[in-house]
Amino acid sequence: MTKSRNRLNSLLGHLSIMVSKPQTVFFGPYEVTDQVFYHSTFCYGLTNIKPVLPGHVLVVPFRPALRLTDLTVAEVTDFFTTVQKVQKMLASHYFKKDGLLGKPEDGSFNIAIQDGKEAGQTVPHLHCHIIPRTRNDQIGDEVYHKLESEEGNIGGGFYDLKRPAQYGKFPQIEGSIKEPRSQDEMKKEAVIFREMMNLLENK
């Protein structure tokens, strides 16, 4: 039984390779091609529409798996290997100051998967949050509240990009909604992170 399951996972992995790098990349129902800064065999790194802290990015499988348990063994390995690679890139960008070398141990990270709706998942596509933490951010565990609140609502952020303009005489209360980042802003960040990932890969 175990051999059959391993063989099936291997076959699924090979099939995934054939379809894993589409020309157009989707995160759930949202097209995010320009936000992608890295791709591996089975997954990609994505700039975030609603980062709770600077450098908050996502790692997402190309295959639209809903839950972590939906991934094959090969996909799980690639997924978490990509998380580590992205951590190293973010460390080199955010932790390289005050005499520090920009290594992962020069700062900290929150690595979070909201695995299902009850856990706060707002986009029906598995994703891992990678959030660099420095001594200066001073929000402690508040980061988890931010992830669960409207401030970190990724699905809501994508919806907001297409939200119709408000009509009527009552103005929106200023500051009541954290605006999602623009496509242009995310694309520019993706270019920077893509170059940094290339540098790390070619070391």
Asked if residue 183 belongs to a known ligand binding site, the reply is no
3-state secondary structure of 145: helix
Q: One of 93, 125, 127, 145 is an active-site residue; which one?
A: 127
Q: Using an 8 Å Cβ cutoff, are 37 and 197 in contact? A: yes
- 152 appears as a binding residue in the annotation: no
Q: How many whole angstroms separate alpha carbon 132 and alpha carbon 150?
A: 20
9 annotated among ligand-binding-site residues = no
C-beta of residue 76 within 8 angstroms of C-beta of residue 180: no
**Tokens 């970190």, residue located:** 152
123: annotated binding-site residue? yes
What is the SS3 string spanning 64-106? Answer: CCCCHHHCCHHHHHHHHHHHHHHHHHHHHHHCCCCCCCCCHHH
DSSP string, 31-43: E-GGGEEEE-SSE
Report the amino acid identity of residue 135: R
Whether 14 is catalytic: no
Residue 120 annotated as lining a ligand binding site: yes
Residues designated as active site: 127
Binding residues for substrate: 48, 114, 120-123, 129
Binding residues: 48, 114, 120-123, 129
